[in-house]
């Protein structure tokens, strides 16, 4: 785990599995309607010592939007009980490779905990390489966690309206191209198709290698350049519900831009309103 790279390899985690300051978090999550239960899968097999982070429960219960960032009090209360505290070197993984793990990485950073990384390739790569797993519930010892909200990497609806109006930040949408253009319907009912005016599009698949790991920095830089994104200038990422957007933020951190922001409500919020500006077709 280095300040330069927000991802760690399976080899790194294998070598640090028993380090007293390393804490491992399973952030597995699936789209609604997927016939898989991440909690049950965790009980069947997880990386030794891992605890389960429930994205849908450790969320803002006052919002109608899915898995919105919770209050600092709620977040701290939950992660303390999971044994995740000040001084922990947190490694987050998921059972898809790199997806909800990036969201939880962003959660911790939004709460001021910088010593957090994502396991590159996640549980699939870990298992494919023959590394150990264990079953059963986690039994962590409670630790103290001090939240410090980092507003600079969080964007709200009102902030996004200003960004669309002024162009002061580049908007990067991580949804698949068909959903971005409006040619493919959204998986969540009631949402308009299309994208925010001025947004660029980099689908999640463009950031990942065939084995599910994230592309190296030089190839990532080429992807952003091809999409018309100047990573030396401010970027805010968005997607369907703020999960894939966090993968964009992770990629930007790998490129040395760790303070890039995520629009928490993403298209579930923006596309579900009647008075937000929406355009269709390719990025212009």
Q: Average pLDDT for residues 145-172, to the nearest whole number?
A: 98
Distance CA 158, CA 52 (A): 33
Residue 284 lies in a domain: no
Q: Are residues 108 and 160 in the same domain?
A: no
Instruction: Indicate whether 163 and 139 sit together in one domain.
Output: no
With b for 16 or more beta-carbon neighbours within 10 A and e for fewer, the 178-187 pattern comes to: ebbbbeeebe
Mean pLDDT computed over 196-220? 97
Whether 135 and 179 map to the same domain: the answer is no
Is 139 found in the same domain as 25? yes
Residue 1 has pLDDT above 70, yes or no: no
Q: What is the pLDDT of residues 101-157, one digit of tens each?
A: 999 999 999 999 999 999 999 999 999 999 999 999 999 999 999 999 999 999 999
Listed in order, strand segments (DSSP E) in the chain are 7-8, 22-26, 51-52, 89-93, 116-119, 154-155, 170-173, 200-201, 235-238, 261-263
Which distant-in-sequence residues (6+ apart) come within 8 Å of 172 by Cβ?
199, 200, 201, 202, 227, 229, 235, 236, 237, 238, 248
8, 220, 239, 252: the catalytic one is 239
Flag whether pLDDT at 3 surpasses 60. Answer: no
Give the sign of the dihedral formed by CA 185, CA 190, CA 196, CA 197: positive
Report pLDDT for 33: 84
Note down the domain range covering 185.
Answer: 152-270
Domain annotation covers residue 112: yes
The tally of domains found in the chain comes to 2
Pairwise CA distance, residues 71 & 176, whole Å: 30
pLDDT of residue 206: 98
Same domain, residue pair 224 and 136: no
171 and 77 assigned to the same domain = no
Percent residues over pLDDT 70 in the chain: 99
Q: What local confidence, expressed as pLDDT, does residue 284 receive?
A: 79
Cβ–Cβ < 8 Å for 50, 124: no
Residue 2 has pLDDT above 50, yes or no: no
Residue 277 falls within a domain, yes or no?
Answer: no
Q: Which of 149, 171, 193 is the last residue of a domain?
A: 149
Tens digit of each residue's pLDDT (9 = 90 or more) over 41-88: 999 999 999 999 999 999 999 999 999 999 999 999 999 999 999 999
- 145 and 244 housed in the same domain: no
pTM of the model: 0.96
The pLDDT of residue 65 is 95
Instruction: Decide: helix, strand or coil at residue 263.
Output: strand
14-47: pLDDT as tens digits: 999 999 999 999 999 998 888 999 999 999 999 9
* 239 among known catalytic residues: yes
Beta-carbon contacts of 66 under 8 Å, excluding residues fewer than 6 positions away, are 56, 59, 241, 268
Q: Is 172 part of a structural domain of the chain?
A: yes
Q: Whole-angstrom Cα distance, residue 213 to residue 122?
A: 8
Q: Does 278 reside within a domain?
A: no
The CATH number given to whatever domain includes residue 254 is: 3.40.250.10
Secondary-structure breakdown of the chain: helix, strand, coil percentages, each rounded to the nearest 5:
30, 15, 55
């Amino acid at each position: 785990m280095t300040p330069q790279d927000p991802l760690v390899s399976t080899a790194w985690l294998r070598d640090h599995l028993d380090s007293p300051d390393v804490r491992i978090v399973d952030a597995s999550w699936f789209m609604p309607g997927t016939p898989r239960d991440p909690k049950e899968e965790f009980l069947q097999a997880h990386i030794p010592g891992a605890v389960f982070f429930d994205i849908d429960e450790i969320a803002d219960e006052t919002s109608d939007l899915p898995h919105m960032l919770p209050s600092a009090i709620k977040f701290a209360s939950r992660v303390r009980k999971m044994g995740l505290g000040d001084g922990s070197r947190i490694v987050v993984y998921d059972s898809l490779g790199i997806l909800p793990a990036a969201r939880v990485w962003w959660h911790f950073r939004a709460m001021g905990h910088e010593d957090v990384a994502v396991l590159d390739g996640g549980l699939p790569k870990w298992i494919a390489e023959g590394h150990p797993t264990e079953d059963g519930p986690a039994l962590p010892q409670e630790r103290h966690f001090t939240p410090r909200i980092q507003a600079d990497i969080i964007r709200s609806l009102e902030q996004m309206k200003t960004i669309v109006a002024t162009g002061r930040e580049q908007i990067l949408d991580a949804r698949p191209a068909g959903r971005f253009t409006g040619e493919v319907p959204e998986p969540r009912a009631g949402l308009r198709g299309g994208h925010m005016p001025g947004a660029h599009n980099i689908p999640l698949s463009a950031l990942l290698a065939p084995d599910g790991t994230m592309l190296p920095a030089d190839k990532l830089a080429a992807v952003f350049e091809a999409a018309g994104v100047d990573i030396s200038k401010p970027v805010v990422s968005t997607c369907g519900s703020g999960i894939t957007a966090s993968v964009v933020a992770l990629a930007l951190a790998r490129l040395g831009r760790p303070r890039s922001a995520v629009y928490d409500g993403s298209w579930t919020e923006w596309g579900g309103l009647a008075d937000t500006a929406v355009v269709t077709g390719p990025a212009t």
